[in-house]
Structure 1
Amino acid sequence: MTARPPGRPREVDITRVARSAVDLFTERGYESVSMDDVASAAGISRRSLFNHFATKAELLWSGHEFYVDRLRRHLMRPSGQGAALTDVLTSGFVRALDDLGEDGLALARARLRVVSAHPDTAAVGQVVVAACRAVVLDHLRTRVRGELTCRCIAGGVAAAAYEALMWWAAGDAPDPERDISSGIAALTLRE
C-alpha cells in the first residue's frame, strides 16, 4: 500500500458527498444536520467539505450542471419539421431528466422534497432555474421572432418546469414527464 504524499488532499467525489448530505437531511431533518455531520458521513474532512460547498443549500443543488448540459444538448438536436414548441421544450426537459438515470432521478426527487420543506434553500436553486432559462432562450432565438417574446417565454418555461418538478417530487408518480408536460403546456406557447 502506498501512502499519499504529505499535504496532498485526496479527491472528493462531489456526487457522493451530496448524496450523503441528502440522505442525512431526509433521515434527520435539514435543520438538525450540520456541515460537520455531512463531512463525517461522507468520510471527508470539514475543510474538504467547505472547499467544495459553502452551505448546506449548495449541497442540495450541487450537480445541476450535468442536467443543464443535457438540456442544452437535447434542445440543440434538430427536431422534426413542424414540431410544436411545447413538445420540443417538454421533450428537452424530460430527456435531460432521463439522462440522470434511475438513481439520479431518485436523488433529484429527494433533493426537491428537502427544498420544498425548507423554502429558504430555494434561493440557491434559482441559479439552476436561471441556467435552464438561458438554455431555453438560446433555443427560442432559433425558432421565435422578437427578443422580448423569447425572453418572456424562456422565463415562463423555466419557472413552469421548476414548479412541475416540485409538484412531481411531492407526489408519487414514478417519473416527472406528465407533470412537466402539463406545466409547460399550461403556458399555451405559440411560435
Structure 2
Amino acid sequence: MSTGRPKASSRETISEAACELFLERGYERTAVADIAARAGVSRSSFFNYFESKAAILWAGFDARIDELTKRLDDTGLREAVESIASDFTPDALALAFKNADAMQVGDELERDAGLRQARIAAAISQRLRAQGVGALRADVVGAAHAGAVMAAVRQWAQDGAGRRPLSVRLGDALDIARLTLA
C-alpha cells in the first residue's frame, strides 16, 4: 500500500474508492480504513479531505449549499437556488442515489438529504424574513424551494445523471413549486 499522493486528485481517488467499496460491501460494512487502503492513502490523509464517510457523498453538494446561501444576498431567489445545479456533474452523490439499494445506503441518504433540505429551507426562510416576509410565508417558501432542490437531485440521479443537466430538472421542479405556491 502506497501512502504517497495518488496520481489523480486524492479527493477524487478517495471518492471513487469509497463508491467501489460501497457497491461491493455496502455502506455500513465499509470502514474509513478500508477506503483509505483502497485509495492508497493513509487514514490521516483521508481526514484531510473528508470529515467522515458520509462526507464523501455530500462534500460537493454541501459546498453548493454554502454557495447558494451566499448568493441569496446578491441575487434573486430563483437564481440563487438554480446556482446549486450550475455545472453539476455526476458524482458520488448521484451514484449513491442511483444505486442506494446496491450500496445499502438508503437510510443514510434519506437522513442526510433531510438535513441538507432543512439547511436550504432555513437559508431561504432567513433571507425572506430579513426582507420583511412574514415567518409562515418565509418558512413555506423555503421548504418548497428546498424540497424542489432535493426532488430534482434524486430524480436527476435516478434518470441517469448524464442524460440531462441537473439545471433542467431543477428548473422543472422550481416551476412546480411556484405553481403550488401561487
> Do the structures match in fold with TM over 0.5?
yes
Measure, in 1, the Cα distance between the counterparts of 2:47 and 2:129. 39
Superposed CA offset, 1:122-177 (max 9, x none):
21232222221222223323556211110122112112210111001111332022
Higher mean C-alpha deviation, range 13-22 or range 151-160: 13-22
CA contact (8 A) 1:161 1:180 kept: yes
* Corresponding residue number in structure 2 for 1:120: 107
From 11, 14, 18, give the equivalent of 2:15.
Answer: 18
Question: Using the alignment, how far apart are the partners of 1:110 and 1:124 within structure 2?
Answer: 15
Structure 2 residue identity aligned to 1:30: G
Would you say 1:65 and 2:52 are equivalent positions?
Answer: no
Q: Distance in 2 between matches of 1:73 and 1:165?
A: 20
1:26-175 alignment runs, 5 A limit: 26=23, 28=24, 30-31=26-27, 34-35=30-31, 36-46=33-43, 48-49=45-46, 52-54=50-52, 56-79=53-76, 88-89=77-78, 91-98=79-86, 100=88, 105-107=89-91, 108-115=93-100, 118-122=105-109, 123-142=111-130, 145-172=133-160, 173-175=163-165
Structure 1 63/116 Cα, relative in aligned 2: closer, same or farther at 3 Å?
Answer: farther
2:171 corresponds in structure 1 to 181
Gaps of 5+ in 1: 1-9, 80-87
Contact 1:137 1:150 in 2 (8 A): yes
The 2-side partners of 1:158 and 1:190 are apart by 13
1:14 Cα shift? 4.5
Distance 2:164 2:45 in 1: 35
Q: Does the 8 Å contact 1:165/1:180 carry over to 2? A: yes
| 8 Å contact from structure 2 (residues 141, 181) kept in 1 | no
Unaligned runs of 5+ in 2: none
When Rg is computed on C-alpha atoms for both structures, the one with the higher figure is 1
Distance 1:50-1:70 versus aligned 2 partners, 3 A rule: closer
- Matched to 1:59, the amino acid is I
> Letter of the aligned partner of 2:90 in structure 1?
A
* Counterpart Cα distance in 1 of 2:94 and 2:120: 18
Q: Does the 8 Å CA contact 2:72/2:80 hold for their aligned counterparts?
A: yes
More helix by share: 2
Q: In structure 2, do the counterparts of structure 1 residues 175 and 67 end up closer, same or farther at CA, with 3 Å as the change threshold?
A: same
Change (3 A) 1:154 1:111: same
- CA distance, structure 1, for counterparts of residue 45 and residue 10 of structure 2: 11
Equivalent pairs, count = 166
